[in-house]
Amino acid sequence: MDNAKREAAEVAFDLRSDVVTVPTSSMLQATANATYGDDVHHEDETTESLQRDMAAMTGHEAGLFVLSGTMGNSLALRSLLSQAPYAVMVDSSSNMLLWESGHPVEPSNGKYLVLEDIVNKVILDDDSVTATPTRVICLENPIHGVVVPRKEVQRISQFARAHGIKLHMDGARLFDAVVAGGGTLSEYATECDTVTMCFSKGLGAPVGSMLVGRDSTIRQARRLRQSIGGGIHQMGVLSSMARVGLDEIFLAKGHDGKSKMAKNHEYARRIAELWIQSGGKISKPVETCMVFLDLEAASLPRGELITLASEHGLKIMSERLVVHHRKCCFPL
């Protein structure tokens, strides 16, 4: 067994995250056929075409390929905020707060932010020198595997625009929300000023995210990307694998008319069903590729769960199980 096949077999039983996947053979082949132009100077056609296509798919003017979702979110916020001091509102359980920084707002429904949560916390007063006016609202979609309804995004978007507030979506797994039936990429993205989408999560590429927005916003983001060392001269080697992930994991349909991502969702639901049939409970709805086991209800310490999983050949790191396209394929 060659190295690529061996690593693919190993991650098949790794449910820690969907970032554990290794490149497919077609991704590796794509790097050999990519263009090797200088992306810093807009000279790499592989990257330029991916940026154009993602902008068109999301209904935005331009796109920018970046190395990670964290970089994309950071560039979006720095491009949307003209000057300090301004506040950024984020879901209290969002990735941007827990791992990147933000101003927390607790979702009243325990799942995702709704307009009323934002209205209760937003600061619109520009005259007070003791308050920090809200200038950007950030939504994560999906959040912990739960899809934010498109109508809720529309409500928040309308409020934000009415008050001169920018709306950013951390769409690290937005492809999952689309496959789950939440809406199309453009239906979600056009409600926002900027959106980031990861190729290295559900789509299985080894690296890369896309930031989309207005031409002026993306031009500023490109400058900022360069200033933090994010400009890659031969970016096509990376963006070519992201293209394969987009085409083969998200867009392509199997004989049953379903994408590989849809099968991930089915597998996640089956895992949840087995846990429930065994007397367990889940702590969050299973709508995409994630399953959250309720360990408190099961009186099962996290460490013990991890040990039990390891003894049965599964690699996990918490009560969160994430199914990916390199998943184990034995019958459940």
Asked whether residue 97 carries a pLDDT value surpassing 70, the answer given is no
Distance, C-alpha 260 to centroid of its chain: 17
- What pLDDT, on a 0 to 100 scale, did the predictor assign at position 84? 63
Q: What is the pLDDT of residues 50-63, one digit of tens each?
A: 999 999 999 999 99
- Residue 84 has a CB neighbour count (10 Å cut-off) of 8
Asked whether residue 289 carries a pLDDT value surpassing 80, the answer given is yes
Max mean pLDDT range (46-60, 73-87, 102-116) = 46-60
pLDDT band per the 50, 70, 90 thresholds, residue 12: confident
Fold held by 25-251: Aspartate Aminotransferase; domain 2 (3.40.640)
Q: What is the pLDDT of residues 178-191, one digit of tens each?
A: 999 999 999 999 99
Residue 52 DSSP one-character state = H
Structural domain boundaries in the chain: 25-251, 258-332
Q: What is the pLDDT of residues 276-285, one digit of tens each?
A: 999 999 999 9
Asked whether residue 106 carries a pLDDT value surpassing 60, the answer given is yes
Across the beta sheet with 209-213, what order do the strands follow? 62-66, 209-213, 194-198, 166-171, 134-140, 87-91, 103-105
Residue 149 DSSP one-character state = P
- What pLDDT, on a 0 to 100 scale, did the predictor assign at position 7? 64
Is the distance from CB of 205 to CB of 242 less than 8 angstroms? Answer: yes
Query: For the range 156-163, what are the long-range contacts, defined as Cβ-Cβ under 8 Å and sequence gap of 24 or more?
Result: 156/113, 156/114, 156/115, 156/118, 156/191, 157/191, 157/192, 159/115, 159/118, 159/119, 163/122, 163/124
| Mean of pLDDT values over 24-30 | 96
| Integer Cα distance of 261 and 5 in angstroms | 21
Mean pLDDT of the residues in the chain: 91
Q: What is the pLDDT of residues 31-40, one digit of tens each?
A: 999 999 999 9
Q: How are the residues of the chain apportioned to helix, strand and coil, as percentages rounded to the nearest 5?
A: 45, 15, 40
Smallest CA-to-CA distance from 69 within 187, 195, 192, 157 is with 195
- What pLDDT, on a 0 to 100 scale, did the predictor assign at position 330? 47
- What pLDDT, on a 0 to 100 scale, did the predictor assign at position 89? 74
pLDDT band per the 50, 70, 90 thresholds, residue 332: very low
Give the lowest-confidence range in 122-126, 148-152, 178-182, 281-285. Answer: 122-126
6 vs 236: which has the higher pLDDT: 236
Residue 12's identity, in one-letter code, is A
Q: What is the pLDDT of residues 159-171, one digit of tens each?
A: 999 999 999 999 9
Q: What is the pLDDT of residues 205-258, one digit of tens each?
A: 999 999 999 999 999 999 999 999 999 999 999 999 999 999 999 999 988 888
Write out the two tokens for 24. Answer: 């497919």
| Integer Cα distance of 20 and 11 in angstroms | 7
> In this structure, which CATH number among 3.30.420.40, 3.40.50.150, 1.20.58.220, 3.90.1150.10 belongs to the domain 258-332?
3.90.1150.10
Is the distance from CB of 168 to CB of 138 less than 8 angstroms? Answer: yes
Write out the two tokens for 264. Answer: 């991930």
